[in-house]
A and B are shown apart, each in its own frame.
Chain A
Amino acid sequence: MADFINNIFGIGDSWVGYLIAALIAAVLILHVVAVGALLFIWMERKISGRIQDRLGPTRVGGKYGWLQTLADGIKLIAKEDITPDLADRFLFKIAPYVGLAASYAAFIALPFADGVVAQHVNTAVFFVLAVLGLEVFSVILAGYASGSKWSLFGAMREAAQVVSYEVPLGMCVVVPVMICGTMNLTTIGNMQAGLFTNWLVFNDPFTFLTAIIYFTCATAGVNRAPFDLAEAESELVAGFHTEYSGLRWSLFFMAEYSSMFVVSALASILFFGGSHGPIPVGQWIGETIGGTWGLNISRIIGVGNLLLKGLIGVTVMMWIRWTFPRLRIDQVMTMCLKYCVPLAALGFIGATTWQYLDLPTANSLVGNPRYEKHEMWTEGVEVTPAADASPASGIPDPEPHQEDKTANADSVTVKTLPVSVVKGGER
């Protein structure tokens, strides 16, 4: 992207190009977050309506109430957001921004398609998890800063829940990382190209189990659905964002919805084939047209795929929310310790032994084996960025992987990373 901008302005390899590229990326992500929140709020009302056998908003802005969320947004902006007098003014004001920043930062490392990623972070999985971990602070700060002991009570409860669910979340994430051998989300996504049998979720029963556990812990980590202890209105304690009103309150919700999308997008990349649809349509189109246009079209299809999967994940979360009653705080905690952590551990051990014993995985049965990406670190072999790196057709290799260009002698023919879908793996 940066080169593209540079050749437009013809200013060669200067830093201006990169500044603009960064800005464009930031604005695009902001759109995903803002428009996403807008869409999700509307979707939530429509879906909950459908589940409850009623219509949901139908009047504002046309037949389907499209602009209902916009109307809400304007109302929230117009509302006066008061700060309670006992509140710790500075922390009270900064809490929602910390929450939004955390969930927004997670989008940096999230690849929407093969090359379409804001900033190529090699340890992308851990980066996203780390940043999501920061959201706990916004909860605690909001709870403490609201001054009343009820919101403190609710905030502590919810922070404990979010922190304790990070453990099984981390364990579930390690399984796809272990199978694909890398923490780079783009590579994990690419390894699941081809038929849906290549998806990690069908790889072996243990990854299937891990996918389910991941989704439960993710719902709890974002405190949605049966785990939403925070605004448990039926209980006495109201929850940490009671004292907020107006714009600040809507920021909390934007943070919640965007982290919901991040978590479900991560789920789709790790387990459900990221930007690759069940049938590799993008790949075919990319190959038939070839060249940069083919690549761009396949990338657009890839982005569409991922957005759709993220959307499906969010819809499932909303569906669960409107059908299940709420769990008690001790049930939530015991479920984390007694069910999620052991099952995640089981999934992890199972996947490792499955991998170690090289048992038949879904894609090896169907005969469309995923391209191998294990780098072989054998002794005594000088690791040099071997020359045979397949020269990308004019497109800067998004990631100069030197580990897959090792020319090692023994059996496994290391296929080069299909940098662009255009070339496609030869198998």
Chain B
Amino acid sequence: MDLIAVAWPYWHQFFFIIFATIAIGFGFGVLLSKNVVRMAFYLVLSLGSTAGLFFLAGAEFVGAMQLMIYVGGTLVLLIFGVMLTAQKDFINMDTHTQDWILATIVGGSLLMVLLFGAFGAEDWRTPQDINDAHVSATKEATPLGLALTGIRVDTLGESTDAVADGKSGYLMPFIIVSFHLLVVLIGAAYMARTKKLSHATDDKSSRAKLMLFKMEHEEEPLEEAKYVVTHKGKSALNPLDPNDED
């Protein structure tokens, strides 16, 4: 019972309205709130609802990836950054008023231009007739996966030479991105490594004391570790009474 697929006319609008309002509402939340942690949380909600919009637009795989990589990964990273740096006075840093006025003017005008463009084109404005086949057509992640490995399944029709020898897909960018991620990973790890050691020489930091302590305290082994003396303990002062020869 594929909800979206069959009751098409109403549901799409309903969900679109919900997700759009959440996305834009919390987008404003990010903009307006002063507390950086609140901003991060609003960002999570707005990106989550954009993932919902992706689902609505039929890009199911991208929606899941957005949820998983973007919200689950990047924003967690961002929140870690917020937690590490958001100490007392950096949590609420409010911007000066004249910046606001300037920003709203520029932003508003940019928005007008974009909206005009969005509604300008005839082709984009006219509602298309959406039927079953189209909806179910997008229900498949496999073509996406294959496209990444170079075989463009959806354009099998026009069998140009590029499609023939399998170069139509996105194999090259795929490999480049994977290397790019590797490089970024190593670079970020290198840059953010704890630099405690570099200025550990000043005696204040505990690590230095630690190393000094370890150096001068090598435990030399107990010379007579082999304490295997079995006769009973007695006072060293009592005269050598005959019976204690063991």
Contacts and interface: CB of A to CB of B under 8 A. Distances in A.
Given A134-B71, A183-B141, A375-B142, A120 B2 contact: yes
Contacts of B68: 126, 129-130, 133
B67 A130 contact: yes
A152 interface: yes
Contacts of A163: 73, 76
A1 B3 CA distance: 11
Nearest to B72: A133
Given A18-B1, A91-B37, A403 B140 contact: yes
B41 interface: yes
Interface in A344-385: 375, 377, 379-383, 385
- Give chain B's interface secondary structure class: helix
A130 B72 contact: yes
A140 B2 contact: no
B3 A18 contact: yes
Contacts of A237: none
Contacts of A15: 7, 10-11
B141 to A, nearest CB: 5
B137 to A, nearest CB: 8
A383 B137 CA distance: 11
A159 to B, nearest CB: 7
A21 interface: yes
Contact of B65 (A21, A126, A141, A402): A126
B50 to A, nearest CB: 14
Interface residues of A, number: 53
B7 A123 contact: no
B43 to A, nearest CB: 11
A119 B5 CA distance: 12
Contacts of B73: 133, 163
Contacts of A399: 139
A144 interface: yes
B74 to A, nearest CB: 11
Given A126-B68, A137-B44, A379 B164 contact: yes
Contact of A137 (B38, B79, B159, B164): B79
B156 A379 contact: yes
Contact of B3 (A88, A119, A156): A119
A325 interface: no
Contacts of A383: 153, 156
A399 B136 CA distance: 9
B83 A156 contact: yes
A49 interface: no
B35 interface: yes
Contacts of B170: none
Contacts of B136: 400, 402
A77 interface: no
Contact of B35 (A88, A379, A380, A400): A88
B24 to A, nearest CB: 20
Interface in A372-427: 375, 377, 379-383, 385, 396, 398-400, 402-403
Nearest to A145: B37
A122 B1 contact: no
B67 A18 contact: no
Contact of A379 (B6, B64, B159): B159
Interface string B39-77: 001001000100000000000110011011001110110
A156 B142 contact: no
A2 B64 CA distance: 25
Contacts of B156: 377, 379-383
Contacts of A402: 136
B30 interface: no
A323 to B, nearest CB: 32
Contact of B76 (A18, A122, A127, A136): A136
Interface of B: 1-3, 6-7, 10-11, 35, 37-38, 41, 44, 48, 60-61, 64-65, 67-68, 71-73, 75-76, 79-80, 83, 133, 136, 139-142, 146, 151, 153, 156-157, 159, 163-164
15 contacts: A15-B10, A18-B6, A126-B65, A133-B67, A133-B76, A137-B41, A137-B76, A137-B79, A140-B76, A144-B37, A182-B142, A377-B146, A382-B157, A383-B156, A403-B142
